[in-house]
């Protein structure tokens, strides 16, 4: 699983998640990105999970399914 650590987490946290591909936002060059931008970049880069301390993230996202055309 490809996992992204948000910039508010120490890169040392990577050692606590063995068996996965762990990248930091800083390593990816994504420091300072707004949440929506970060999620779009993650999706395009094939990440499956984001670990963050950002408590506002869930309330800022539209989690309703997109309507089919």
Residues whose CB is less than 8 angstroms from the CB of residue 57 and which lie 6 or more positions away in sequence, other chains included:
35
**Which residue's entry shows tokens 């998640």?**
17
**Structural domain spans, the chain:** 2-60
Count of C-beta atoms within a 10 Å radius of residue 17? 14
pLDDT tens track, the chain, 69 positions? 999 999 888 888 888 889 999 999 999 999 999 888 998 999 999 999 999 887 766 665 655 555 555
Per-residue pLDDT at 8? 86
Cα 64 to Cα 54, 61, 67: the distances in Å are 20, 9, 9
Count of C-beta atoms within a 10 Å radius of residue 19? 6
Q: What is the pTM of this model?
A: 0.77
């Amino acid at each position: 699983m490809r996992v992204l650590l948000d910039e508010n987490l120490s890169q040392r946290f990577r050692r606590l998640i063995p068996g996965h591909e762990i990248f930091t936002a800083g390593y990816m060059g994504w420091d300072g990105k707004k949440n929506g931008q970060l999620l779009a970049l993650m999706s395009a880069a094939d990440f499956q999970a984001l670990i963050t301390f950002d408590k506002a993230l869930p309330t800022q996202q539209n989690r309703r399914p997109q309507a089919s055309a």
